[in-house]
Amino acid sequence: MRLKGLRRIAACAVMCWVGVVSAATVNVSSSSNRVSVGQVVTLTFAVSGLHQGGVGSLAGFDLDLQYDNSLLSFQSFGFLDAATGANALDLPEVGSLGFFGDAAAAGGIVDAFGLSGNSAAVLDAQQPDGFDFLTLSFVALQASSGTALAIDLADPLLTFSDANGRPITMDFGSARALLIIDPQGGGGENTVPEPGAPALALAALAGAGWARRRSGRQRRAALALSLALAAPLASQAQTKADTPAQPTPIDVRVVEVAGTRAKVRAEDGREFWVSVGPALTPDKVGQRLRGEAVPKGDVIKVNAPTFSAT
């Protein structure tokens, strides 16, 4: 697979250790255990038990997920934690090398990895004890009475590393998800939207146009923007088109700041995190933020931001 070379490089970068730290726990959960053909299921990979019992923070991971590609089609991935809307391996830090991660599918295997560019001091001090570190979404292709999506525990490159480059021995509370796929129209949830549906939702909220999404990183980032600014589409598939996402004007209220990120609230009450650029000061909380929201990687970036009291 195309990521194997990158995986080995990343593994070499984080696997120069002495000793092995204690265990944390990884759990795989599914947005639904039953869908219909043409609908979407999203797997969430969560870690817990960090920063206790000799376990430090999570700085890198590398895993393969096995699935039946005659029944399911891999659609998208992300690295955001549902509770915070942020990537816990990409914390605000001056001089950080940034986050490096990707996922690709071939032959019924999704090869996914992530590597933090944060320092050990920042990860150990600021990273939560537990969080979602990966999401993978699939569209159902054919009916099935039962199919499994499972982490390949025999993968020699299966890796979880702490902030000092030492491997974390993981317990797996759940390493797989079971899914029933009904024939089309069987009543499952998470129907794939028709092209243009996210555009209508976004236009209603932000008062701006929304270009249809294309494959690759722009498509994934555009989905993140749609999730935050439009309807709760977390389990919906991305439409495939050839035009990139366009900047979307936003007018929101700041409710929390953390480094260069701000948690904001839209007029309809939905809250989400955005990246503004320069470090934000506490006095920005409560102010009105206006700007042009654009997808960038797995975050929402606000260009030309302005703050005002009203």
Question: What digits encode the pLDDT tens for the residues 228-242?
Answer: 443 333 333 333 333
pLDDT at residue 1 greater than cutoff 90: no
Tokens standing for residue 52: 């206790």
Closest by alpha carbon to 295, among 206, 196, 208, 226? 226
CA distance 50 to 23: 8
Asked if residue 266 lies in contact with residue 192, where contact means CB atoms within 8 angstroms, the answer is no
> Above 70 in pLDDT, residue 306?
yes
Ranking 82-91, 190-199, 278-287 by mean pLDDT, the lowest is 190-199
pLDDT of 116 strictly over 60? yes
Rounded CA-CA distance 193/197 in Å is 6
* Closest to 159 in 3D by CA, of 260, 292, 300, 9: 9
State the average pLDDT for the chain.
76
- ∠ CA 275-276-282, rounded to 5°: 105
pLDDT one-digit tens code per residue, 200-216: 333 333 332 222 223 33
Residues 213-234: what's their mean pLDDT?
A: 37
Is residue 155 classed as helix, strand or coil in its secondary structure?
A: coil
Cβ–Cβ under 8 Å, residues 290 and 249: yes
pTM of the model: 0.58
Is 15 exposed, middle or buried (CB count within 10 Å of its CB: 0-12, 13-18, 19+)? Answer: middle
Closest CA to 30 of 58, 62, 72, 61: 72
Tell me which amino acid residue 11 is: A
